[in-house]
Structure 1
Amino acid sequence: MRVLKALAAVSLFLFSPAVPSLHARETDLRPALPATAQAVLVEAEGFAQRGGWVVDPQFMDQMGSPYLLAHGLGRPVADAATEVEFPAAGDYRVWVRTKDWVAQWNAPGAPGRFQLLVNGRPLETTCGTEGAQWHWQDGGSVKILERRVRLALHDLTGFEGRCDAVLFARDPQFTPPNQDPEMAALRRVCLGIPEQPEPAGEFDFVVAGGGIAGTCAALSAARLGLHVALIQDRPVLGGNNSSEVRVWLQGARNKEPWPRLGDIVAELEQPRRAHYGPTNTADLYEDDKKLALVRAEPNIRLFLEHRANAVETESGKILAVVAQEIHTGRRVRIAGRWFADCTGDAAVGALAGADLEIHP
């Protein structure tokens, strides 16, 4: 549990496992939270048990953090749960950052409905039922009797419910900020994240994206003697060819005039296949084998569950990539001599100012 305290009765609490307590000056907190709004902020991606909910980082560049997604294909997923220590018992107003993901098409039904359970009891408000954009949905008031509280996200539909964060405020008039820079400042203060990213080293070759292209590039460079950083925003490598997406490796390789082109792909390839459908199970994609191959290379430093979402340039040349850790929000600066954009959507190139065209 990460705790920040200030002298003027301002306390922010953010659940984040295995992180020491941090302390902030009173002046550090004022831009993010009024002194009257003693509050508890819980980031959904920091829940200790995620149940059937999954972390979705693909929009964290726009949102500032990932969120939890109830991807159940029509079957409600198991609850995500965590425990949070409140500064004091009492009445709190609850805010849940979410959205109705079909509202932008004026579609009825709010398929992403879920409940927030406080010590096993649901709020009266059903979450995910309003607003086409991310916002703080008012969850009403709740009485906290004991400082140690168990929270749970209870999916009602299995159809992509979304939760970014939960905030409890002692001041019933306080509304949490929803836009940057105020939103970013609130998160930064709560997480104890410095304004500047922490240095993570200098490398010969920095690869952003751990799909098949990025993994092969990193392995090849490392075996040629380069000091390599491989950045991947998922808990597994392989991208489409992982248990998360389940697309088989395809394409012509080991052909003349480049008969060795494809050797590393062959190392990653799975020996067993199944037709798409119920038999196309996660174990067939051998995520552990991909991770083992990368971790066996002494010249590779793997930044797993880090998202490359900023770059430093000078005179049109990339000097470093800044990557944000998925669960804690902490940022690191990864400097390099050469860079490979294997993100799948040219994110690093676009951030560096390269020509970019987007076609429907």
Structure 2
Amino acid sequence: MKTALLVSLIALSAAHAQPKWIEAESFANHGGWVLDTQFIDVMGSPYLMAHGMGKVVKDASTEVELPAGEYTIWARTKNWVGPWDAPGAPGRFEISVNGEKLKHEFGATGKDWQWEKAGPVKVSGKTKIALHDLTGFDGRVDAIVLSDDAGFTPTTDMRRELLGLPEKAPETSEYDLVVVGGGYSGMGAAISGARQGLKVAFIQNRPVLGGNGSSEIQVWAMGGTRRGLYPHLGEIVEEFADRASNSPAASPDEFNDKLKEDTVKAEKTIELFLNTHVYGVELNTDQKNIRSVIGLDTKSGKETRFVGKLFVDCTGHGSVGALAGAEFMMEEKGRMGMSNMWVMQNLKKPV
């Protein structure tokens, strides 16, 4: 009996807590770091980026609960100039734990996304993790993992298990219409569908609606609507279009993101899913029609399968169609080409 008890105690003392996986995008306070969702389909996740145009940005931070112990810290990051063997590593940053900076500069080596190691550091209970930018030149962090096992090394395929996510994303009830993409075309499709009595899932991978016409990009609404033989064409757009004084405007507020969201939310049969990136498509058994699209919450990492009868691809890239297997092509001819719209202004004095 004593021998068995001793063995049990030894096993307990040797056991390690489950590693703590923290998605950078889930940080409670992003500080001056921005959420970049452009490369989810390339590297598998959104990430935080210190886009300070050369000026160091404010720390991003969050708090987690950890059992008392000594932890090694891993961060998935990338030296973004590495593929060109460029010197300088402009995207360098540090991590601090409870105010103590770890003795490692992240984002300074390698060519691809990789796990970089620092520590160990002793913690107990509530623990504050902070990202400290060093350059203002686009340092990036996908995830942070803390482990009390010195021999542990994380891999990206551990993400789902360590975050407690199901193997298969849960699905919604069936919608009449699923609209993917929250720019002007997506807004028009979703609102029009709702006004025809359809139950609509409206999915947008940014925190605001409007696409290029939002405060994030600031391309003003200067198209011709309600003209000639088509006096009703564009009526819905006129309900939420900006009246900006310039493009880009003196203030992002001129693009009125709130008006766009309020116009959509006024439709009782639209369910709006912001910060949700569609990265997958499931077909019906006949393999000819879409049954659902799979969306990733860019803040929590949770996934959802949106089931629908009809689907509208308003992504601007034809992403849903391509994922469904539709034939597509991209070519250089037929594009607008370079434009001076963004730089030609008379400011009367040097800037």
TM-score range (shorter-chain normalised) is 0.7 to 0.9
Secondary structure of 1:198's match? coil
Partner of 1:334: 306
Q: What is the root-mean-square deviation in Å for CA atoms of aligned residues?
A: 1.9
Distance 1:145 1:230, change over 3 A: closer
Q: Read off the aligned partner of 2:128 and give its amino acid letter.
A: R
Specify which of 338, 346, 354 is matched with residue 318 of structure 2. Answer: 346
Secondary structure of 1:197's match? coil
Following TM superposition, by how much is the alpha carbon of 1:105 offset from its aligned partner in structure 2, in angstroms?
A: 1.9
Q: Equivalents in 2 of 1:353, 1:189: separation in Å?
A: 30
Partner of 2:77: 98
Following TM superposition, by how much is the alpha carbon of 1:127 offset from its aligned partner in structure 2, in angstroms?
A: 1.0
Distance 1:295 1:9, change over 3 A: farther
Deviations 1:173-224 (A, max 9, x none): 22212xxxxx23x111122111122122211111001111101111111112
- Do residues 44 (structure 1) and 14 (structure 2) align? no
Distance 1:106 1:358, change over 3 A: farther
Q: Read off the aligned partner of 1:173 and give its amino acid letter.
A: G
Structure 2: segments with no counterpart, 5+ residues: 1-10, 333-351
> TM-score w.r.t. structure 2 length?
0.86
Partner of 1:199: 171
> TM-score w.r.t. structure 1 length?
0.84
Following TM superposition, by how much is the alpha carbon of 1:333 offset from its aligned partner in structure 2, in angstroms?
A: 1.7
Specify which of 208, 214, 217 is matched with residue 242 of structure 1. Answer: 214
- Do residues 67 (structure 1) and 47 (structure 2) align? yes
Q: Equivalents in 2 of 1:312, 1:303: separation in Å?
A: 19
Partner of 2:257: 287
Partner of 2:142: 164
Aligned length: 319
- Do residues 267 (structure 1) and 246 (structure 2) align? no
Following TM superposition, by how much is the alpha carbon of 1:143 offset from its aligned partner in structure 2, in angstroms?
A: 2.2
Deviations 1:117-173 (A, max 9, x none): 11112211111111221110122x222143321111111121111001111222222
Specify which of 166, 169, 173 is matched with residue 151 of structure 2. Answer: 173
Following TM superposition, by how much is the alpha carbon of 1:9 offset from its aligned partner in structure 2, in angstroms?
A: 6.5
Q: Read off the aligned partner of 1:80 and give its amino acid letter.
A: A
Following TM superposition, by how much is the alpha carbon of 1:280 offset from its aligned partner in structure 2, in angstroms?
A: 2.9
Following TM superposition, by how much is the alpha carbon of 1:297 offset from its aligned partner in structure 2, in angstroms?
A: 0.2
- Do residues 309 (structure 1) and 289 (structure 2) align? no
Q: Read off the aligned partner of 1:297 and give its amino acid letter.
A: E
Q: Equivalents in 2 of 1:344, 1:129: separation in Å?
A: 34
* 1:82-121 to 2 correspondences below 5 Å: 82-90=62-70, 92-121=71-100
How high is the sequence identity, in percent, across the aligned residues? Answer: 47
Q: Equivalents in 2 of 1:351, 1:98: separation in Å?
A: 27
Secondary structure of 1:280's match? coil
Secondary structure of 2:219's match? coil
Q: Read off the aligned partner of 1:133 and give its amino acid letter.
A: D
Partner of 2:105: 126
Distance 1:359 1:108, change over 3 A: farther
Q: Read off the aligned partner of 2:25 and give its amino acid letter.
A: E
Q: Read off the aligned partner of 2:271 and give its amino acid letter.
A: R
Secondary structure of 2:124's match? coil
Secondary structure of 2:250's match? coil
Following TM superposition, by how much is the alpha carbon of 1:256 offset from its aligned partner in structure 2, in angstroms?
A: 2.5
Q: Equivalents in 2 of 1:191, 1:123: separation in Å?
A: 24
Query: Is 1:42–1:165's contact at 8 Å kept on the other side of the alignment?
Result: yes
Q: Kindly report structure 1 stretches of 4+ aligned residues shifted beyond 6 Å.
A: none
Q: Equivalents in 2 of 1:316, 1:270: separation in Å?
A: 39
Q: Equivalents in 2 of 1:111, 1:71: separation in Å?
A: 11
Q: Equivalents in 1 of 2:124, 2:47: separation in Å?
A: 27
